[in-house]
C-alpha cells in the first residue's frame, strides 16, 4: 500500500517561539504528514535574524519541492512569503494574518487608519523602554494584537515577555521595515490561503485583505470567532485549513 507524504513547516509569531505551535502540530501530524517548527531567531540585529530565518526556510524546503506546505502565523507569514520570493517553491502557503507592512499604503485613508494601532504600539513600547518599564513595553506589543490579552496571560508568560521586551520591540520594528515585493510574489507564489480572525484587530485584518487583493492565487478566508493568537490558543479552529491543503499534496510516495 502506498501513501503520499506531506511535510509541513510551521512558522511562529514574534514573541511566541516554535513551541507556541506545538498544539497545532500535534493536531496536524499523522503517518503521512511530517511537521517541522523552525525557530525564527539568530544572533545580531533583528533584521539579520529575519534574513537568516528566510534563508534557512528556503534551504529546508528545497529537498521537498511541492510536497512541502508552509503555515505562517503573523511574523511567520512574513518569513514564508519572503522565502517564496527568494526561490522556495512549496505546494501551498497557509498564512494566518501575515505581518506584511508592504501591503499597506500610508497615503490610503483606510490603510492609514489600520496602521494607527501599530504605530501607537511602537511609540508606547519605545517610551516604556526609555523609562525602564520592560513590562509596559511588552504589554504594548501584546495588547496591540487584541484588547486585554496582556491581562489574560499567565504571570510566567508576562515575566518572560518582559525580559524579552527590548529584543521584541526591535524585532517588531524590523518586521515593519522588511521589504516585500508583492508584485513579484503574485508572479511566483503557489496556492495561498490567507486566514484572518473575525475578532482580530483592524491592523492585521486589513493587511490580510490587501495581500489577498494583489495575489490572484490567494483565497481570503474569515475564521469565525478567531483572533490574532488563535493558532496558539485555539489550534482546532485553524487546523481544518491546513488539513485541506494537506489533501492536495503531491509529494513522494511512501511504500
pLDDT tens for each residue of 67-83: 899 999 999 999 999 99
- Using pLDDT thresholds of 50, 70 and 90, give the confidence band for residue 151: confident
Q: Same domain for 56 and 121?
A: no
Is pLDDT above 60 for 182?
Answer: yes
d(CA 4, CA 2): 7
Q: Are residues 189 and 84 in the same domain?
A: yes
In tens, the pLDDT along 119-147 reads 999 999 999 999 999 999 999 999 988 76
Parent domain of 26:
3-104+180-254
Structure-derived torsion over alpha carbons of residues 26, 28, 30, 32, reported in degrees to the nearest 10:
-150
Mean residue pLDDT of the chain comes to 90
Note whether 78 and 204 are same-domain residues: yes
Same domain? For 43 and 78 the reply is: yes
For 235, other C-beta atoms within 10 Å of its C-beta total 19
Q: Are residues 204 and 158 in the same domain?
A: no
Instruction: Write down which residue in 121, 149, 176 finishes a domain.
Output: 176
Q: Based on the domain organization, do 114 and 172 belong to the same domain? A: yes
Same domain, yes or no, for 29 and 82? yes
Q: 155 or 246: whose pLDDT is higher?
A: 155
- For residues 167 and 224, membership in a common domain is answered with no
61 & 185 share domain: yes
Boundary (domain end) residue, out of 160, 176, 192? 176
Whether residue 1 has pLDDT greater than 80: no
| Total count of domains within the chain | 2
Q: Domain check: are 188 and 145 in the same one?
A: no
pLDDT (0 to 100) of residue 44: 66
Residues in the chain: 255
Are both 48 and 96 inside the same structural domain? yes
Q: Are residues 68 and 11 in the same domain?
A: yes
Question: Of 117, 151, 176, which residue is a domain's last?
Answer: 176
**Strands across the sheet containing 68-73:** 33-36, 6-11, 68-73, 92-96, 191-197, 218-223
Mean pLDDT of 206-213: 96
For a pLDDT cut of 70, what percent of the chain falls above it?
93
Amino acid at each position: 500500500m502506498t501513501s503520499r507524504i506531506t511535510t509541513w513547516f510551521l512558522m511562529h509569531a514574534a514573541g511566541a517561539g516554535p513551541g507556541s505551535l506545538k498544539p497545532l502540530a500535534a493536531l496536524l501530524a499523522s503517518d503521512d504528514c511530517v511537521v517541522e517548527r523552525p525557530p525564527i531567531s539568530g544572533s545580531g540585529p533583528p533584521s539579520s535574524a529575519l534574513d537568516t530565518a528566510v534563508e534557512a526556510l528556503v534551504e529546508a524546503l528545497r529537498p521537498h519541492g511541492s510536497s512541502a506546505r508552509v503555515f505562517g502565523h503573523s511574523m511567520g507569514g512574513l518569513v514564508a512569503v519572503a522565502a517564496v520570493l527568494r526561490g522556495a517553491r512549496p505546494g501551498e502557503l497557509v498564512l494566518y494574518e501575515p505581518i506584511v507592512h508592504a501591503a499597506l499604503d500610508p497615503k490610503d485613508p483606510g490603510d492609514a487608519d489600520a496602521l494607527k494601532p501599530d504605530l501607537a504600539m511602537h511609540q508606547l513600547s519605545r517610551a516604556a523602554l526609555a523609562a525602564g518599564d520592560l513590562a509596559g513595553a511588552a504589554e504594548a506589543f501584546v495588547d496591540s494584537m487584541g484588547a486585554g490579552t496582556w491581562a489574560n496571560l499567565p504571570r510566567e508568560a508576562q515575566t518572560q515577555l518582559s525580559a524579552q521586551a527590548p529584543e521584541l520591540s526591535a524585532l517588531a520594528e524590523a518586521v515593519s521595515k522588511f521589504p516585500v515585493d508583492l508584485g513579484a510574489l503574485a508572479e511566483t507564489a503557489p496556492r495561498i490561503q490567507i486566514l484572518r480572525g473575525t475578532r482580530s484587530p483592524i491592523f492585521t485584518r486589513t493587511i490580510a485583505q490587501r495581500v489577498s487583493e494583489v495575489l490572484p492565487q490567494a483565497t481570503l478566508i474569515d475564521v469565525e470567532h478567531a483572533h490574532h493568537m488563535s493558532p496558539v490558543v485555539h489550534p482546532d479552529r485553524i487546523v481544518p485549513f491546513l488539513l485541506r491543503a494537506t489533501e492536495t499534496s503531491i509529494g513522494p510516495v511512501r511504500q
